[in-house]
């Protein structure tokens, strides 16, 4: 059988695969071939509605969608193929205060991504959509960039442009097998021969699961049925001089736009119908599914209310086609953590909004070694083994059926939960713990007082947990509390070369002495942030890293890439194998003296110390003298099998100290008061170490490490933004993250995380603002459409010198 070589093989000829091929070629990588088992667009692309919109969350997703839409004009010019783009603008309708708040929140967040939006009057809306009945509509958000395209034309334009630059498209070329090679590449088997590829991209759309299985991988994907239909020509539209604007009603579960002289109406059915759960048929292609408009009755009531003329419109064509979704309805993009040089581009719900952006990100990752922006919200590594078939089916069903739902800040979806629990889950639940989930693991958010319901009630105002969290914070600040930290990521690094290797991996100083700790960022080769860790050195051959639990798979992917084959070093993810408890507060040391015979005084056990000790017969408890609360604190980690024993002993002894259990929301309140940034909301690859304040932990003078040269070069350049802490004059509600910050009426930055500081009695917001602003001029933060005065804090709001945690 013939064998050929290619740098990149792409499996799947839908819009995403073709966009990836185009962007690779555009960046100079033309030694790429796309394999399509049938014709281009077979599967979901051919029957898509082709709607275009940039407005979404998070901000970087909106940026990528905006860039995708704006790039179509250039794609048309280069390929010579029309994309059938119609930019007609779009209206988002709300009925009810909470839906209006949701639109206001999106409008404020749009400032960061540069997506133009504005609220308009009912009269403005009727001029754009004369058939719209605005009675009962509370607010209308307008997005000028919204429109639609021709799906087949866009897909072929990408393919044509890629071929024009030297890349190759092969139709009717099914892939029969993919096998990893010893050099990190892939053997791709087709009926006409074998291709050895350095990099493989799975962009197989409806067949993403099947293609992944060829490589021994599993992806959290599930196909669903989705209806839209086109009406017969409507007299009310035929007489109009121009196309009407796109209309969607998030609370109504529908979207519509003009199609000829009729309307194209898409419905998110009341009951989601999963399709082909066990696997997509290999002979499926350009087929549709039997329609069942009875599932659309509730949404149709909303449509008729907004567009009364629909009641007289006949149905010209019904399209019920499958699309494949992920548990959070967002794409799976990037290198799969379980396979070298295997990239995913799967579960793309809105390919004509997102395909171009995904193609660009993949091309950057493959050609440059990393994407140019933080895309963890789409990264395939955000899901672990806990996202099994049952979890995926339940979450996809929920997400689809609740597309019209108002999603409140801090909301935890209680569907397919309890996939991963700590050894003390039942104990803490019995004490009133209300849990959230981090990378599939349950962790306590707060503790309901006796007699109160142990569940969240969501609102745009302060949640029902507000007073309970306040009590937890005051207990930690004034006495002593215990916070379960089992969901933190915990990595053990061992071997003769462990310490030396970590010094080349991390940008900060790895402790030189046994029993010491340090804080260290981790950089990419281009000097961008990949993570920040607490490093504990137990010996030269045994160290621990503690970091963000949600980043486990992406961190492990990076660690595996960087581990040397010719040195004695091993790294193991111990996150599930070790439980954790954080004791914090001014009486934490007094409690520790009762828990262990080991010395815990400040002189022999100072801040940033680490040691193993025994607690109630539990040996080898890793005790870290560090605190994210800003108080005197100890993080205690032990094997999972001993976790319950350790916790029971701490609670028993702690009763003499009036020890109080506290949750993640209390910790969040305390770190906000301290101005401590957190990975994800505050720190990411989008900010430089200089901008976010982590530069003080980076030591270029220590020698070579990953990203050193790029960091040194970037350190000489002026920053574009700076990390800041604000207090805000607000009542009954606090910022949630994403809000726009203004100064002198001009947009100058954005909030990253926020909440109420219970010890200081202040509403606190962290975020980024321009570095050249006049700090004496007042700031304002746009909270749900109202601008509130915000006061920039020159020093941390609570214990600015850090004396309490160093006591």
Task: Classify burial at 208, counting beta carbons within 10 Å of its beta carbon; exposed 0-12, middle 13-18, buried 19 or more.
Answer: buried
- Strand partners for 142: 91, 118
pLDDT at 363: 98
Q: Which helix (H) or strand (E) holds 710?
A: helix 708-715
Reading the block at residue 604, the tokens are 């022999």
Task: Assign residue 527 a region (left: φ > 0; alpha: ψ between -120 and 50; beta: otherwise).
Answer: left
pLDDT per residue as tens digits for the range 59-70: 999 999 999 999
Neighbours of 602 (CB within 10 A): 13
Distance CA 748, CA 740 (A): 8
Can you spell out the DSSP letters for 557-610?
HHHHHH--SSSS-EEEE-TTTEEEEEEESTTHHHHHHHH-SS--STTTS-TTBE
DSSP letter at 89? Answer: -
* Average pLDDT rounded to a whole number, residues 230-250: 92
- DSSP strand pairing (118-120 vs 90-94): unpaired
Q: How far is CA 669 from CA 146, 420, 434, 547, 593, in A?
A: 38, 25, 16, 19, 28
Task: Assign residue 700 a region (left: φ > 0; alpha: ψ between -120 and 50; beta: otherwise).
Answer: alpha
Which of 218, 214, 604 lies closest to 386 in space, CA to CA? 218
pLDDT at 730: 78
pTM for the whole structure: 0.96
Kindly report the average pLDDT of the chain as a whole number. Answer: 95
> Phi and psi (nearest 5°) for 657?
-105, 5
322, 226 Cβ separation under 8 angstroms: yes
pLDDT at 293: 82
Reading the block at residue 58, the tokens are 């998070």
pLDDT band at 250 (very low <50, low <70, confident <90, very high): confident
pLDDT at 435: 98
Distance CA 803, CA 589 (A): 15
126, 118 Cβ separation under 8 angstroms: no
Give yes or no for residue 775 having a pLDDT over 80: no
* Average pLDDT rounded to a whole number, residues 339-364: 97
pLDDT at 1: 66
pLDDT per residue as tens digits for the range 436-445: 999 999 999 9
Give yes or no for residue 397 having a pLDDT over 80: yes
Provide, rounded to the nearest whole percent, the portion of the chain with pLDDT above 90. Answer: 90
Task: Classify burial at 513, counting beta carbons within 10 Å of its beta carbon; exposed 0-12, middle 13-18, buried 19 or more.
Answer: exposed
498, 569 Cβ separation under 8 angstroms: yes
pLDDT at 285: 80
pLDDT band at 286 (very low <50, low <70, confident <90, very high): confident
Can you spell out the DSSP letters for 374-438?
--TTTBGGG--TTS-HHHHHHHHHHHHHTTTSPPPTT----SS--SB--TTHHHHHHTTEEEEEE
Q: Which helix (H) or strand (E) holds 554?
A: helix 552-562
pLDDT band at 316 (very low <50, low <70, confident <90, very high): very high
CA atoms within 13 A on the CB side of 682: 24
pLDDT per residue as tens digits for the range 579-589: 999 999 999 99
100, 107 Cβ separation under 8 angstroms: no
pLDDT at 44: 80
- Residue appearing with tokens 């090679």: 181
Give yes or no for residue 773 having a pLDDT over 80: no
Distance CA 3, CA 236 (A): 61
pLDDT at 238: 87
* Helix 151-164 / helix 351-368 crossing angle, nearest 10 deg: 20
482, 433 Cβ separation under 8 angstroms: no
Which of 584, 682, 591 lies closest to 630 in space, CA to CA? 584
DSSP 3-state percent helix, strand, coil across the chain (nearest 5): 30, 30, 40
DSSP letter at 688? Answer: -
Which of 145, 310, 146, 135 lies closest to 237 in space, CA to CA? 310
* Average pLDDT rounded to a whole number, residues 157-172: 97
Distance CA 770, CA 753 (A): 17
pLDDT at 608: 97
Reading the block at residue 359, the tokens are 């193609």
Range from 119-123, 335-339, 449-453, 753-757 carrying the lowest mean pLDDT: 449-453
> Phi and psi (nearest 5°) for 195?
-115, 125
pLDDT band at 417 (very low <50, low <70, confident <90, very high): very high
Give me the sign of the Cα torsion angle 249, 254, 258, 262: negative
Q: How far is CA 397 from CA 221, 270, 277, 720, 753, in A?
A: 11, 10, 12, 42, 30
Give me the sign of the Cα torsion angle 709, 713, 716, 720: negative
pLDDT at 129: 97
Distance CA 198, CA 182 (A): 11
Which of 306, 359, 370, 311 lies closest to 335 in space, CA to CA? 370
- Strand partners for 168: 33
pLDDT at 48: 85
557, 337 Cβ separation under 8 angstroms: yes
pLDDT per residue as tens digits for the range 624-680: 999 999 999 999 999 999 999 999 999 999 999 999 999 999 999 999 999 999 999
333, 191 Cβ separation under 8 angstroms: no
Distance CA 32, CA 5 (A): 10
- Domains for the chain: give ranges and CATH numbers: 3-368 (3.50.50.60), 489-574+687-717 (3.30.70.1400)
Peptide bond into 58 cis (omega under 30): yes
């Amino acid at each position: 059988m013939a064998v050929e070589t290619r740098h990149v093989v792409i499996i799947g000829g839908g819009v995403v695969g073709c966009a990836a091929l185009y962007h690779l070629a555009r960046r100079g990588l033309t030694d790429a071939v796309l394999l399509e088992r049938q014709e281009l667009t077979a599967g979901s692309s051919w029957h898509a509605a082709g709607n275009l919109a940039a407005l979404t969350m998070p901000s970087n997703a909106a940026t990528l969608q905006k860039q995708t839409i704006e790039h179509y004009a250039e794609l048309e010019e280069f390929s010579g193929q029309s994309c059938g783009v119609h930019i007609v603008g779009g209206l988002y309708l709300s009925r009810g205060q909470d839906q209006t708040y949701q639109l206001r929140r999106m409008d404020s967040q749009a400032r960061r991504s540069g997506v133009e939006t504005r609220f308009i009057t009912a009269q403005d809306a009727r001029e754009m959509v004369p058939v719209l009945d605005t009675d009962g509509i509370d607010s209308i958000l307008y997005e000028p960039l919204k429109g639609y395209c021709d799906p087949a034309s866009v897909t072929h334009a990408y393919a044509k442009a890629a071929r024009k630059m030297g890349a190759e498209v092969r139709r009717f070329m099914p892939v029969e097998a993919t096998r990893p090679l010893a050099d990190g590449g892939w053997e791709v088997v087709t009926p006409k021969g074998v291709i050895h590829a350095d990099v493989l991209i799975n962009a197989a759309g409806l067949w993403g699961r099947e293609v992944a299985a060829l490589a021994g991988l599993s992806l959290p994907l599930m196909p669903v049925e989705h209806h839209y239909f086109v009406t017969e020509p409507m007299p009310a539209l035929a007489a109009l001089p121009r196309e009407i604007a796109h209309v969607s009603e998030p609370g109504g579960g529908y979207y519509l736009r003009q199609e000829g002289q009729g309307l194209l109406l898409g419905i998110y059915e009341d009951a989601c119908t999963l399709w082909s759960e066990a696997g997509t048929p290999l002979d499926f292609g350009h087929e549709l599914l039997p329609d069942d408009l009875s599932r659309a009755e509730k949404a149709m009531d909303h449509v008729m209310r907004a567009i009364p003329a629909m009641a007289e419109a006949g149905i010209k064509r019904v399209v019920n086609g499958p699309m494949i979704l992920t548990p959070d309805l967002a794409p799976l993009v990037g290198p799969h953590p379980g396979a070298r040089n295997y990239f995913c581009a799967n579960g793309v719900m809105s390919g004509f909004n997102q395909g171009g952006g995904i193609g660009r990100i993949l091309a950057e990752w493959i050609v440059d070694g990393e994407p140019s922006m933080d895309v963890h919200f789409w990264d395939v590594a955000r899901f672990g083994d806990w996202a099994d078939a049952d979890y995926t089916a339940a979450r996809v069903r929920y997400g689809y059926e609740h597309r019209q739902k108002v999603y409140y800040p801090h909301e935890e979806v209680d569907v397919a939960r309890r996939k991963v629990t700590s050894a003390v889950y039942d104990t803490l639940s019995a004490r009133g713990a209300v849990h959230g989930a981090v990378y599939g693991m349950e962790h306590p958010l707060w503790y309901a007082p006796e007699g109160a319901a142990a569940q969240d009630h969501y609102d745009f105002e302060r949640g029902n947990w507000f007073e309970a969290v306040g009590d937890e914070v005051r207990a930690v600040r004034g006495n002593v509390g215990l916070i379960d930290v089992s969901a933190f990521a915990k990595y053990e690094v061992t071997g003769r070369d462990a310490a030396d290797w970590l010094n080349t991996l991390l940008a900060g100083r790895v402790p030189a002495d046994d029993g010491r700790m340090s804080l260290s960022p981790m950089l990419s080769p281009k000097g961008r942030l990949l993570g920040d860790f607490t490093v504990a050195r137990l010996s030269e051959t045994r160290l621990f890293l503690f970091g963000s639990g949600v980043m486990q798979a992406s961190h492990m992917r990076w660690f595996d890439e960087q581990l040397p084959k010719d040195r004695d070093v091993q790294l193991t993810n111990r996150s599930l194998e070790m439980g954790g408890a954080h004791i914090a507060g001014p009486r934490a040391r007094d409690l520790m003296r009762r828990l262990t015979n080991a010395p815990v005084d400040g002189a022999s056990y100072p801040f940033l110390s680490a040691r193993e000790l025994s607690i109630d017969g539990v040996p080898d408890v890793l005790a870290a003298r560090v605190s994210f609360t800003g108080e005197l604190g100890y993080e205690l980690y032990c094997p999972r099998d001993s976790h319950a024993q350790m916790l029971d002993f701490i609670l028993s002894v702690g009763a003499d100290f009036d020890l109080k259990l506290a949750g993640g929301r209390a910790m969040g309140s305390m770190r906000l008061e301290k101005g401590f940034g957190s990975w994800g909301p505050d720190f990411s690859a989008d900010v430089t170490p200089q901008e976010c304040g982590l530069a003080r932990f980076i030591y270029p003078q220590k020698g070579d490490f990953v990203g050193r040269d790029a960091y040194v070069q970037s350190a000489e350049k002026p920053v574009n933004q700076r990390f800041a802490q604000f207090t805000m004059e607000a009542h009954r509600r606090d910022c949630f993250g994403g809000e726009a910050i203004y100064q002198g009426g001009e947009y100058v930055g954005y909030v990253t995380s926020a909440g109420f500081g219970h010890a200081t009695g202040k509403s606190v917001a962290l975020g980024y603002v321009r570095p050249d602003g006049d700090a004496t001029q007042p700031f304002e933060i746009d909270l749900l459409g109202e601008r509130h005065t915000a006061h920039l804090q020159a020093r941390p709001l609570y214990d600015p010198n850090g004396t309490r945690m160093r006591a």
